């Protein structure tokens, strides 16, 4: 298996997609927390 998720960019992208998912389901505070993490 290729461990490509270890690159910072892809980790950030994954966090962003998670945040979008939470936002769409109405979990705004968790979405915001993930976005803050992805922007560090």
pLDDT per residue as tens digits for the range 1-40:
556 556 888 888 899 999 999 999 999 999 999 888 888 7
Let me know: does 22 contact 14? Beta carbons within 8 Å: no
Domain that holds residue 27: 9-38
Q: What's the total number of domains in the chain?
A: 1
Q: What's the confidence (pLDDT) of residue 8?
A: 84
| Two tokens, residue 39 | 């922007």
4 domain-assigned: no
2: left (phi over 0), alpha (psi -120 to 50) or beta: beta
Tell me if 2 is assigned to some domain: no
């Amino acid at each position: 298996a290729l461990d490509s998720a270890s690159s910072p960019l892809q980790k950030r992208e994954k966090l962003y997609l998670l945040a979008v998912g939470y936002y769409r389901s109405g979990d705004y505070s968790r979405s915001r927390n993930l976005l803050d993490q992805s922007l560090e």
